[in-house]
Amino acid sequence: MRRTTVIRTGLSALLVIGAWATAGLVPATAAPSPTSEAPASAGLLSAMQKDLGLTKGQAEARLAAEKTATAVDGKARRAAGPAYGGSWFNADSGTLTVAVTTAGKADAVRATGATVRLVEHSAQQLDAAKAKIDALSAPAGVASWHVDPKANKVVVNVVAAQKNDNDVRSFLARARQAGPVTVEETATAPQTFAAGTVGGDPYYTGNVRCSIGFSVYGGFVTAGHCGQAGAGVSGWDGSYIGNFQGSSFPDNDYAWVNVGSGWWTVPVVLGWGSVSDQLVRGSNEAPIGASICRSGSTTHWRCGNVLAKNETVNYSQGAVHQMTKTSVCAEGGDSGGSFISGDQAQGVTSGGWGNCSSGGETWYQPVNEILGRYGLTLHTA
């Protein structure tokens, strides 16, 4: 966008309303979070009150507890070593629980500030079982699968109406051979959230509208299903932005677009007038159970909770790996948009089921993978 046409609702003319990217095979190059504590904006607190049913005081306390839990998580993982079985945040108690397979590691983990649960399977064993399932060809009736540290199993989600399908039953039989597996039902198969062209939205490629992701130096990140490498991108005002420099879908769902022609990047996630525009200060990964919010060009600002990590989602176009599942709703056109927890970038919107009238769930790919994959640096405040 050009500086003469910047004034628009909130910062919608600014290029960096947040999508995030995916979780990382290579260390991310995001700038570290500043040590100074930035207070939560009134808009963020208001959105959490609305979408999570909290009071202002409860929202402030939860954000503080989640920030502490995020810091404790890394220390606890190191203390547990090979006995680490995963972790999750408990919103009611404000504590992080860490699963361990060896009682001898319990005291060291508790010393980090986490509570401890003894389990049978380590995170490494569960990840290995999931990797074996990833190698299978899943039928349409299988929606997704992920490691659930709280259940200490790999959870396979099947579409309820197709649970007795022969191909689904055969897939589940092979999945159970991979390791500890439990089956849950979902009402609807997942789908991506791209949409046909309509006026006034953040960016277009061909006849597809998607949502701009997090700003990186030199461009922004977004969802891979929104465009292939080389495809041209135009902004909300129809002016040329740049091109997809890299894109992966399926298997992954991430991409990045270079920025030029009078457009520039800023470390901001758009609040769409529902909340104040949010500054991005880093990309520390929030734990399971943490609150999280999403910004997108169709349904704007919505909040919910992190439900699962490292989930494989079986879209009609093929499986996408290493996704994070949330209770936040989304609709067509929200693809590529930002997921943010506090002031920390989390990931880019990929797909889900349902809508923002009746409810639903969404998946995103964590931002740090895309930064590492393409050697990008997150633009932070």
Q: Which residues are catalytic?
A: 225, 253, 335
Q: How far apart are CA 126 and CA 179, in angstroms?
A: 7
Q: How far is CA 257 from CA 69, 87, 203, 323, in A?
A: 33, 34, 11, 21
Are 109 and 98 in contact by the 8 Å Cβ rule? The answer is yes
Beta carbons within 8 Å of 274's beta carbon, 6+ residues apart: 43, 46, 47, 300, 301
For residue 302, how far is the Cα from the chain centroid?
A: 13
Q: Is the peptide bond before 180 cis (omega within 30 degrees of 0)?
A: no
Cα distance between residue 90 and residue 315, in whole Å = 30
Measured between alpha carbons, how far is 176 from 215 in angstroms, rounded to an integer? 41
Closest to 245 measured CA to CA, from 259, 227, 229, 263? 229
CA distances from 80 to 29, 105, 247 (A): 26, 6, 36
Spatial strand order of the sheet with 95-100 comes to 84-90, 95-100, 115-118
